[in-house]
Amino acid sequence: DVKVTQSSRYLVKRTGEKVFLECVQDMDHENMFWYRQDPGLGLRLIYFSYDVKMKEKGDIPEGYSVSREKKERFSLILESASTNQTSMYLCASSSDPAKGYEQYFGPGTRLTVT
Amino acid sequence: AQSVSQHNHHVILSEAASLELGCNYSYGGTVNLFWYVQYPGQHLQLLLKYFSGDPLVKGIKGFEAEFIKSKFSFNLRKPSVQWSDTAEYFCAVNFKAAGNKLTFGGGTRVLVKP
């Protein structure tokens, strides 16, 4: 079974703090993704990566950056956290094209910025 | 821009009632289609997927979905729901022209009353 793990389930940070969210997958997937999930808005793509050290902006990259130094690990960084970044953050990895890029999700990190 | 629409944000129904959740997408090219479910407190998991072939696909837990290409739709159905189907349901589309990303709908919260 594919397993995607995220470093924290719940996180509380103060405005202006630098925040690191970590994600690890164990299935040797090429592609990894970071989303935020907000009520009524579904999942919105922040950044994704299709290879080590490669990254692409998603739909809402402002205020975020990412790092992928190893294939299994994809980090989301909030350089200076703001209250409007309070959200649920989901990491996913995806399988090969033969499976239509089906994505596997981690349990999520609920981030509160005060 | 490619988009995915889910018609209902909230659905409330009683056990044994039939469920149909609508999903439409904006793009006329080749697509892969998914329905994901998020049970309370759990991570997103795949219900079913369509890549090609029979447009009526069956998934886990008695769910099925029908791809109607002419209507750009991929509606999810279950003939008789149970209390345990209370969850949030997300339609997702891989627009092949956009590469390996998924675009998600806004989600539908389903509450099944016992």
HEC assignment per residue over chain A: CCCEEECCCEEEECCCCCEEEEEEECCCCCEEEEEEEECCCEEEEEEEECCCCCCEECCCCCCEEEEEEECCEEEEEECCCCHHHCEEEEEEEECCHHHCCCEEECCCEEEEEC
Q: Is the pLDDT of residue A80 over 90?
A: yes
Q: What is the pLDDT of residue B28?
A: 66
Contact B32, B92 (CB under 8 A): no
Q: Is the pLDDT of residue A97 over 80?
A: no
Q: pLDDT for A100-113, tens place per residue?
A: 688 999 999 999 99
> Which residue ranges of chain B lie beneath pLDDT 70?
28
User: DSSP secondary-structure letter at B67?
Assistant: E
Q: Which residues in chain A have Cβ-Cβ distances shorter than 8 Å to B31?
A: none
Structure token pair of residue A38: 């907000």
Using a CB–CB cut-off of 8 Å, the residues of A that contact B are: 31, 33, 35, 40-45, 48, 50, 58, 90, 92, 94, 97, 100-103, 105-108
Torsion, CA B100, CA B44, CA A11, CA A33, rounded to 10:
-10
Q: What is the pLDDT of residue A102?
A: 87
Average predicted confidence (pLDDT) for chain A? 93
Contact B51 A105 (CB under 8 A): no
Q: What is the pLDDT of residue B1?
A: 75
CA distance A68 to chain B (A): 17
Q: What is the pLDDT of residue B97?
A: 80
Q: Is the pLDDT of residue A95 over 80?
A: no
Q: pLDDT for B26-42, tens place per residue?
A: 976 889 999 999 999 89
Interface with B, mutate which of A4, A5, A43, A94 (most B CBs under 10 A): A43
Measure the CA–CA gap between A76 and A106, rounded to whole angstroms.
14
Q: pLDDT for A55-65, tens place per residue?
A: 999 999 999 99
Q: What is the pLDDT of residue A2?
A: 66
For B97, the 3-state DSSP assignment is helix
Q: What is the pLDDT of residue B107?
A: 94
pLDDT tier at A91 (50, 70, 90 boundaries)?
Answer: very high
Contact B104, B3 (CB under 8 A): no
User: DSSP secondary-structure letter at B18?
Assistant: -
Q: pLDDT for A20-36, tens place per residue?
A: 999 999 989 999 999 99
Measure the CA–CA gap between A75 and A57, rounded to whole angstroms.
14
Nearest to A42 by CA among B56, B99, B109, B80: B109
